[in-house]
C-alpha cells in the first residue's frame, strides 16, 4: 500500500488559495481575503430564488479542526461526496483512482468534520464562473496542515473546466489543501487545478447562488445569497 510522500505533503500552518485563469481571465485571478465573516453577516433568513430555498444558517468563519496528514493512500475510493448545505444537497461523483491523493485527502477532511458548518466564501461571475468552498475560516486563506500534488489536470484548451466540474483551488503547483470550486458555467483556466469530480445533482443550487451575484454586485466576492456546508457525506 503506497504512502503519502513527505515531500509531497508539505506541512503548512495555512494555505493561501487562488484561482489563476489563463488567456484574458487574469483580472479574476487573485483570491478574495475579506476577513472572517461576522455572525450577523452570515446568518440569513429563509429565501427562495429560481425554485431553490435556502434556510437560515448560523455558520461563521472559524478556526478549522486539526486533521492529521493521511498516513496512507486509499485503495478503495469514494464514489460520491454529498455537500449537505442550507440550500439543498449537492452530489459530486468522483474521479476515483484518477486522483488518489486528492480522494484520500478530501475523504479524511470530510470524515474528520473539517468542512462542517463552513461557508462557501467566494463567487466569481465574469470570465471565471465558480463558487469556491472548503475554507472554514471563510477568508480564502485557510487550509489543513498538509498539502499534496496536482493530479488529473485537463488539457490546455477552451472550456477545459466545463459546467459541473469540481476542482481543487490552490496557491501554485502542488499546493492543494481543502479548498475547492464548483463550476456553474463553462470556464477556461490554465490546466493547473486538479479535477476530482462532477456535480450530478444540485448544479441548479450553484446556479441560483451565482444568479444572486456577489455582495455589492462585485464580479469576485462573497456570495450575496449565503450558502453553507453543514457536513460532507462520503459514500
DSSP-assigned letters across all residues of the chain: --B--TTTS---S----B--B-GGGGGG-SPP---PPPHHHH----EEETTEEE--------PPPP-PPPSB--SS--SEEEEEETTEEEEEEE-GGGSHHHHHHHHHHHHTTTTTTEE--EEE-SS--EEEE--TTSSS----S--B---S---SSTTSB-TTEEEE-BSSTT-B-S-EEEE-S-B-B-S-S-EEEEEEE-HHHHHHHHHH-BGGG-SEESBSS--EEEEEEE-
Q: Distance between CA 202 and CA 52 in Å, rounded?
A: 10
pLDDT tens for each residue of the chain, 235 residues long: 334 443 343 333 333 336 433 333 333 333 333 322 222 333 344 555 577 999 999 999 999 999 999 999 999 999 999 999 999 999 999 999 999 999 999 999 999 999 999 999 999 999 999 999 999 999 999 999 999 999 999 999 999 999 999 999 999 999 999 999 999 999 999 999 999 999 999 999 999 999 999 999 999 999 999 999 999 999 9
Contact 201, 89 (CB under 8 A): yes
- Record the pTM: 0.83
Domains and CATH numbers, the chain: 23-34+46-234 (2.40.100.10)
Amino acid at each position: 500500500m503506497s504512502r503519502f510522500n513527505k515531500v509531497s505533503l508539505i506541512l503548512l500552518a495555512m494555505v493561501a488559495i487562488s484561482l489563476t485563469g489563463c488567456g484574458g481571465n487574469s483580472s479574476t485571478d487573485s483570491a478574495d481575503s475579506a476577513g472572517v465573516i461576522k455572525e450577523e453577516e452570515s446568518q440569513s433568513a429563509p429565501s427562495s430564488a429560481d425554485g431553490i430555498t435556502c434556510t437560515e444558517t448560523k455558520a461563521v468563519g472559524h478556526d478549522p479542526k486539526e486533521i492529521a496528514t493521511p498516513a496512507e493512500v486509499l485503495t478503495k475510493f469514494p464514489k460520491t461526496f454529498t455537500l449537505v448545505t442550507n440550500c439543498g444537497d449537492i452530489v459530486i461523483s468522483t474521479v476515483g483512482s484518477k486522483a488518489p491523493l486528492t480522494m484520500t485527502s478530501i475523504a479524511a477532511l470530510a470524515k474528520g468534520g473539517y468542512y462542517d458548518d463552513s461557508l462557501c466564501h467566494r463567487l466569481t461571475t465574469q470570465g471565471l464562473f465558480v463558487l469556491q468552498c472548503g475554507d472554514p475560516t471563510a477568508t480564502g486563506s485557510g487550509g489543513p496542515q498538509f498539502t499534496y500534488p496536482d493530479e488529473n489536470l485537463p488539457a490546455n484548451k477552451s472550456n477545459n473546466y466545463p459546467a459541473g466540474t469540481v476542482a481543487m483551488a490552490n496557491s501554485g503547483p502542488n499546493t492543494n489543501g481543502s479548498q475547492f470550486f464548483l463550476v456553474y458555467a463553462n470556464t477556461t483556466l490554465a490546466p493547473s487545478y486538479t479535477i476530482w469530480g462532477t456535480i450530478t445533482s444540485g448544479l441548479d443550487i450553484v446556479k441560483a447562488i451565482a444568479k444572486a451575484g456577489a455582495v455589492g454586485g462585485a464580479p469576485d466576492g462573497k456570495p450575496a445569497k449565503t450558502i453553507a456546508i453543514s457536513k460532507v457525506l462520503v459514500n
